[in-house]
Amino acid sequence: MRLLNFNIIKLFVCLALGIISGHWLRLDTNLVIYTSVVLVIATGIYWFTLHNKIVKAPYFGLLIYVCMYSLGISGYAVHNDKKRPNHYTNLKPNDRAQEFVLQINERLKPDNYNYKYIVDVLTFNNQKAEGRLLINIRKDSLFHGFNVDDTFYTLAPLEEIRKPLNPHQFDYSKYLELKQVYHQLYLEQQSLNLLNEPSITIYGYADRLRTMINTNLKSAGFEPNTLNIINALLLGQRQDIDKDTYNNYVNSGTIHILAVSGLHVGIILLILNVLLKPVLYINYGHIIRPLIIVTMLWAFAIVAGLSPSVTRAVTMFSIISIAMHLKRPTNIYNTLVISAFVILLFKPTFLFEVGFQMSYLAVLGIVSIQPILYKGLVFNYWISDKLWQIFTVTIAAQFGVAPIGLYYFHQFPGLFFISNLVVIPFLGLILGFGLLVIGLALSNALPRVLVTAYSGIIEGLNTFISWVAQFENFLLRDIPFSLLQVLLSYLIIIALVQTYRFKNFRWLAFGLVGIICFQSLGLIQKFENKKEGFIIFNKSRYTLIGQRSGNYLKVDHNLDSLRLKNDRVIQNYKLGEGIKTVSKDSLEMVYQYKEHTLLVIDSLGIYKGLSFEPEFVLLRNSPKINLNRLLDSLRPQTIIADGSNYKSYVRRWKQTCSEKNIPFHPTNEKGAFILE
């Protein structure tokens, strides 16, 4: 059975390619919609004209694929909120601050200084509007947070979401753009005027239910750390998990259990199938039971926040549940593709979500590779067989997600098989017990003994995860992995799986060619990585200067050892550029790079008595200098101000350089200063 012989898979590929094209090409919305309509009409005419000979019609299949490709492009364009006339970006702004009526849509993880929310725009300068914003509310002991659907009025200037200021830095603005968020507001608690009687959406009801569950669980005696894990495992909310606990789950290879996904939904489906079995014995029970199951699965998905992974899982298991009750044979590949197809029709941007990608790849790895691994060993004892089954599921899932995981996160947990071998068998118990605890808490009938027992289970889980995570030597970090390597990895995996299935030399040859290309790519990158460069990175309150020669990077800095160890600026650059060796040193006063000379002026402001005129001057640590005199004295071609300077100083220097017609490069606005 060849995977690509299924028409639905071919249609899905065309749809996905259309969405990708729509994302990168950004074509005119009207153009792509009209084109799609014309293609659909042409396909319909072709169908009605040749419906008796449709199998023999030579161009019908091609027309269908082109139509689906166009549908992907138009679907992406239609879901672009900025194209709508009432979007706040298309309405007339005020000269300075803008007036907003906003409604809370989603709570995000707060940072050290601000509470963060995604909000829907209801009005913009007294005009009915739509769109989404990121708001940052300064932390205040008097502010206790918003609930989803809370509505408030505020007056504030719109601010762009910053682009990355350093090479290979995570692009948060692009990430938010996929969520249709293009601007942000910085607000103080006193500038928020809460409005009465907000319109409550289904997400608001779900948030209120989660709040009620948390209140009751807290009253029952659950500690905050335990409560945070319960929220992640059962309610899909992991914003409040502390950093150390979260990192332990990442490093042990079990972070997937804190994201409600197929594993959780599958267990819940099994529980519902058992609990609702008596419904089959009533009239129309074979219809009522799947309807109840699907409704409860989607209710759970809504309570869990409709993340890409839970949406994928619930869609897929809804299709499986309906097919089971209709007694229709199902093909797991078709089921996966149909669920992805349906989701992308309504949410095209999910295609670019890491959770969506990893969720499907993990399941594809399990269904295609696990049976092959499982047949490798046969055990006579039930417990041995079950442990082997779990082990092969874990390995197969890693085959599915490892390449893309390396691309996004650049690390691999070497002990994932041990942690998952222990955690997965008990996850059903943890989830089932947890659902019972939540149900009893909502009815105010949760006995203390269950609180103690379930708290012990969660604490035991955390202790085991922490124990596995402490073996840092088994955590492979900082692995550079390019998109081309990801594609080659999956081509190799597919070729090897198909070789096993069909015993076909062509697939084996295809896999060997893929392996040769993968290794050749590494050699090419090694020999071509001869770039040189001089970089002044942007680092708030500190100075970082990098000098690169091929695979070697020398970093001059004024960070303490702990900050330097945890600094992501250099780490991101190292991974992105394939740097092998990094050395650290203290800052110098003068740098010579090729024919360029750079003078560094620190807080002491000393620069007189020089025997040369530098091409570039770097101002750091807010030196108290008269910039006019410096420009007249040294006559530099460019002034650079890094992130260690006061903003007021940078503004003053910028004005002075503008008056003198001298290029000015503030790294906190323009990003890192780079000489190739």
Q: Give residue 201's pLDDT band: very low, low, confident or very high (50, 70, 90).
A: confident
641 touches 667 (CB < 8 A)? yes
Q: Reply yes or no on whether the pLDDT at 55 is more than 70.
A: no
231: Cα within 13 Å, side-chain hemisphere: 25
pLDDT value of residue 5: 46
CA-angle at 478, arms to 568 and 349, nearest 5°: 75
The region of weakest confidence among 48-52, 128-132, 185-189, 580-584 is 48-52
The architecture (CATH level 2) of 88-200 comes to Beta Barrel (2.40)
3-class secondary structure, 664: strand
Q: What tokens appear for 626 in the block? A: 């008269």
Average pLDDT on 70-93 reads 88
User: Percent of the chain beyond pLDDT 90?
Assistant: 32
Question: Any alpha helices (H) in 376-446, and if so which ranges?
Answer: 382-409, 416-442
Position 489 pLDDT exceeds 60: yes
Residue 537: the pLDDT is 96
Sheet holding 590-593, edge to edge: 590-593, 596-601, 616-619, 638-641, 664-666
Nearest one of 256, 240, 452 to 358, comparing CA atoms: 256
- Which amino acid is present at 2? R
Q: Residue 257 contacts by C-beta under 8 Å, 6 or more apart in sequence?
A: 233, 249, 263, 264, 423, 427
The radius of gyration of the chain from alpha carbons, rounded to an integer in Å, stands at: 29
> Average pLDDT of 568-577?
89
Counting residues of the chain whose pLDDT is more than 70, the rounded percentage is 97
The pLDDT of 614-641, averaged and rounded, is: 93
Q: How far apart are CA 497 and CA 373, in angstroms?
A: 11
Query: How far is Cα 285 from Cα 279, in angstroms, rounded to an integer?
Result: 5
Give me the pLDDT at residue 635, please. Answer: 92
Kindly indicate the confidence band of residue 57, based on its pLDDT and cuts at 50, 70 and 90: low
Most distant CA atoms of the chain, gap in Å: 98
Specify the pLDDT at position 577.
86
Provide the pLDDT confidence category of residue 329 given band limits of 50, 70 and 90.
low
- Tell me which H or E stretch contains 174: helix 172-177
Confidence (pLDDT) at 51 = 62
pLDDT class for 327, splitting at 50, 70, 90?
low
Tokens standing for residue 645: 């300077």
Q: What is the pLDDT of residues 160-180, one digit of tens each?
A: 998 999 999 999 999 999 889
Q: Rounded to whole angstroms, how far apart are CA atoms 360 and 12? A: 13
Phi, psi of 298 (to 5 degrees): -70, -30
pLDDT by residue (tens digit) across 515-552?
999 888 878 777 767 788 999 999 999 999 999 998 89
> Which of 95-99, 110-114, 456-460 has maximum average pLDDT?
456-460
**Average pLDDT, integer, range 591-602:** 92
Average pLDDT over residues 497-501: 89
Q: What is the mean pLDDT of residues 66-72?
A: 89
Are 177 and 129 a contacting pair, CB within 8 Å? no
pLDDT band at 556 (very low <50, low <70, confident <90, very high): very high
Q: Per residue in 267-316, pLDDT tens?
A: 888 888 888 888 888 888 888 888 998 898 888 888 887 777 788 788 88
- Average of per-residue pLDDT across 610-624: 91
Query: Could you give the CA distance from residue 250 to residue 258 in angstroms, rounded to a whole number?
Result: 10
Q: Which of 39-48, 440-449, 555-564 has the lowest mean pLDDT?
A: 39-48
User: Please, what sign has the CA dihedral across residues 162, 163, 169, 174?
Assistant: positive
**CA–CA dist 161, 149 (Å, integer):** 23
CB atoms under 10 Å from CB of 459, counted, come to: 14
Over residues 233-278, the pLDDT tens digits come to: 888 888 888 888 888 888 888 888 887 777 788 888 888 888 888 8
Segment 405-427, tens digit of pLDDT: 999 988 888 888 788 888 888 88
pLDDT digits (tens, 9 = 90+) for 353-412: 888 888 889 888 888 999 999 888 888 888 888 888 888 888 888 898 899 999 998 888
Contact 475, 251 (CB under 8 A): yes
SS3 labels along 583-651? EEEECCCEEEECCEEEEEECCCCCCCCCCCCCCEEEECCCCCCCHHHHHHHHCCCEEEECCCCCHHHHH
Poorest-pLDDT segment among 106-120, 122-136, 331-345: 331-345
DSSP structure string for 475-527: EE------HHHHHHHHHHHHHHHHHHHH--HHHHHHHHHHHHHHHHHHHHHHH
Count of C-beta atoms within a 10 Å radius of residue 2: 9
Q: What are phi and psi of 581, to 5 degrees?
A: -125, 130
289 and 279 in contact (C-beta within 8 Å)? yes
Torsion of CA 319, 323, 324, 325, to 10 degrees: 110
Per-chain mean pLDDT for the chain: 87
Report which secondary-structure segment, H or E, holds 666: strand 664-666
Side-chain-side CA neighbours of 135 within 13 Å: the count stands at 31
Residue 507 to residue 495: CA distance in whole angstroms = 5
- 286 vs 187: which has the higher pLDDT: 187
Tell me the mean pLDDT in the region 23-35: 81
Using 50, 70 and 90 to split pLDDT, how confident is the model at 328?
A: low
Distance from C-alpha of 31 to C-alpha of 34, rounded to nearest angstrom:
5
**Taking the domains of the chain in order of start, what are their residue ranges?**
3-78, 88-200, 208-476, 483-528, 530-676
3 pLDDT exceeds 50? no
Beta-strand runs (E) in 513-589: 532-537, 544-549, 552-557, 581-586
Position 1 scores a pLDDT of 43
- pLDDT over threshold 60, residue 576: yes
- Classify 184 as helix, strand or coil: strand
Residue 115 has pLDDT above 70, yes or no: yes
What's the rounded Cα separation, in Å, for the pair 233 and 231?
6
> Could you tell me the pLDDT band of residue 204, with boundaries at 50, 70 and 90?
confident
CB proximity list for 167: less than 8 A, separation 6 or greater: 535, 572, 573, 576, 577, 672, 674
